[in-house]
Chains A and B, each alone.
Chain A
Amino acid sequence: MSRSSGRSSPLTPYLQVAPLALIMLAMVGIPLITVLLLSFWQTDGITIYSEFTWDNYAQVLTSPVTLTLFLNTLKYAALTLIATMLIGFTCSYFLVFHVRNLKWQIGLFLLCTIPFWTSNVIRMVSWIPFLGREGVFNQALISAGVIDQPLDILLYSDFAVVLTYIHLFTLFMIVPIFNSMAKINPNLIEAARDAGASGWQILWTVIVPLSRTGIALGSIFVVTLVMGDFFVVRVMSGGQSASVVSAMKNQIDQLFYPEAAAMAVLLIVVVLLMVSAILRIVDIRSELAK
């Protein structure tokens, strides 16, 4: 901490942080409370009445569709999590431990992160010419003689949804894992090698445990992103599958706001449980403070 001079008043940090605090309260805090309130309010389909009711939750919790939606969303999250974790770990491992030139390391890392600053909608759309019946993938397989009939399951299927998730979200795994790995002291690996550890043993007993903060952070990002998506599911499954949020979006489109809000609160509870489960395995806060 810096030595405070006579001129700097104790009020300074409050003034400096005030704009952020105001915007965050007005655009995040109060709106979230609004959703919570809304989930307890009554509606007749046209107008919303500010009278307390459990009906929205009763409706959501007793509907058999809810469980299916949650299971389907969890399936997407699990598949995406496994794939992004494997890809993210392998790519970070390559960048940190095999690319020895720092300039190359940073350059290749940036190459992985640049798509983050471009449009997700366009990146999703760009799979359509690839996966369609007459798409690049089918054409290549047919001309290679692997199949005679184009595969229908490539586009507008669960496969397309998960593939798009992996495409969109792997970089949320790479960035934190890369950061954790880059902090590993090379002497530790050297010491393990001197002590006679094989490459695999070093990987499992040194590198994986020391990368756990990054893996946990990346997992939180990927899980929350997949659980919060409605657009990829809607377009890439061709309307055949639904997730919690895409069902919520339908309710919103039909102006069933209180029911959508109840669904949203339920989703947040499930996501918070998953995040705290991840945090139970890895104590991110104490790891980051190191």
Chain B
Amino acid sequence: MSQATQRRGLGFYLLAAFFALFVIFLYGPMLVIFILSFQGPTGGLTFPLRGVSTHWFNDLWTSTRYGDLGGAFRRSMVLGAMSLAITAIVCLFAGLAFRKRFIGAGPLFYLAITSLVVPGILLGLGISQLFQLLGFRLNWWLSGLGAHLSWTLPFGLLIMFAVLNRFDSSWEEAARDAGATPWQTLRYVTVPILFPGLIAVALFGFTLSYDEMPRSLLTVGGRNTLPIEISNMTTNVTTPALYAIGTVTSVLSFAVIALAFAGIALIQKRRARAK
């Protein structure tokens, strides 16, 4: 950087303070509910802490007041896993296709963007009414999964575009010239090179599905996903159990993010060493 020798002025410290405040604003409230989820058995929704316990976490698993949390959690995990796999595979091939010209590329791209900007509940209304018109039953693993894919696929596609932007297709040509079949080129050249990007796409596939609520609401049928159960709890539950479930699901999200970042970092480290 050309300014590296310049001294840091007042502007830098003011901006740094502003940025620090923003980060506190971003993470502070979350930190508060993590702390409050360890509230003692007699504690309430706000400070002071009346002792420290894991009472409310136990309450989540043992009490029947909170509906089918275990089942909702299981369904959300399965949906997340399915979205992860489908998003990664579908977006990989779609990204490869968009490198070439094909009829309908423009409309398909706009359809994907439309899916991102349309209010989720509206799309959920459309999907649920479509299923009803066709006489299909709403199920979390079909209409619900479809609603989740309408959210994860466009994001995955955009990430894939960014990933492929930096991909040098002369690697593929070299493989072809060396006599590789298209399948071998994909399996041994394209996918390994793109793998860190594919991890990022998969991360979006899982977390966006796992936390999705507006699109799921009308499409999952009788059995709820975890975000729907939690959003119901926000109006019914007035104990720190609400924070406990928040802590559990956030810890899981952070673990998945950490896993994805660690995977990407590991591959890049290995590549740097191989050079």
Contact = CB atoms under 8 A, between A and B. Distances in A.
B150 A24 contact: yes
Interface stretch (A55-63, A121-129, A207-215): A121-129
Interface in B141-187: 146-147, 149-150, 153, 157, 169-170, 172-173, 176-177, 181-182
B123 A5 contact: no
A268 B201 CA distance: 28
Contacts of B272: none
Interface string A14-42: 10110111011111111111110010000
Contact of B218 (A125, A231, A252, A264): A252
A3 B100 CA distance: 11
A29 B153 CA distance: 14
B227 A125 contact: no
A35 B172 contact: no
A3 B175 CA distance: 13
A170 B26 CA distance: 9
B125 A129 contact: no
Contact of A235 (B121, B122, B235): B235
Interface string B225-248: 001001100110000001100100
Contact of B182 (A2, A7, A25, A27): A7
Given A27-B127, A119-B249, A230 B214 contact: yes
Contact of B121 (A7, A20, A94, A249): A249
A94 B157 CA distance: 29
A91 B99 CA distance: 34
A224 interface: yes
B27 A186 contact: no
Name B's interface SS: helix
Contacts of A249: 121
Contacts, number: 261
Given A23-B149, A23-B153, A125-B242, A134 B46 contact: yes
Given A120-B211, A167-B26, A16 B96 contact: yes
A183 B186 CA distance: 32
Contact of B2 (A8, A124, A190, A264): A190
A117 B253 contact: yes
Contacts of B112: 20, 24, 28
A90 B182 contact: no
Interface in A167-194: 167, 170, 186, 190
B12 to A, nearest CB: 5
Interface in A274-290: 275
Contacts of B188: none
A24 B157 CA distance: 12
A122 B117 contact: no
Given A38-B129, A126-B29, A257-B129, A29 B119 contact: no
A100 B3 contact: yes
Nearest to A257: B129
B119 A227 contact: yes
11 contacts: A8-B182, A16-B97, A17-B108, A28-B114, A31-B123, A35-B125, A98-B11, A119-B211, A122-B230, A125-B246, A231-B213
Given A93-B15, A94-B19, 13 more contacts: A7-B182, A16-B97, A31-B129, A91-B22, A119-B246, A121-B213, A121-B234, A122-B246, A125-B230, A126-B29, A130-B29, A257-B129, A264-B125
Interface of B: 1-4, 8, 11-12, 15-16, 18-19, 22-23, 25-30, 32-33, 36, 45-47, 89-91, 93-94, 96-102, 104-105, 108, 111-112, 114-115, 117-123, 125-127, 129-130, 133, 146-147, 149-150, 153, 157, 169-170, 172-173, 176-177, 181-182, 203-204, 207-208, 210-211, 213-214, 218, 227, 230-231, 234-235, 242-243, 246, 249-250, 253-254, 256-257, 261
Interface of A: 1-3, 5, 7-8, 12-14, 16-17, 19-21, 23-35, 38, 87, 90-91, 93-95, 98, 100, 108, 110-112, 114-115, 117-130, 132, 134-136, 139, 167, 170, 186, 190, 199, 220-221, 224, 227-231, 235, 245, 248-249, 252, 257, 260-261, 264, 267-268, 271, 275
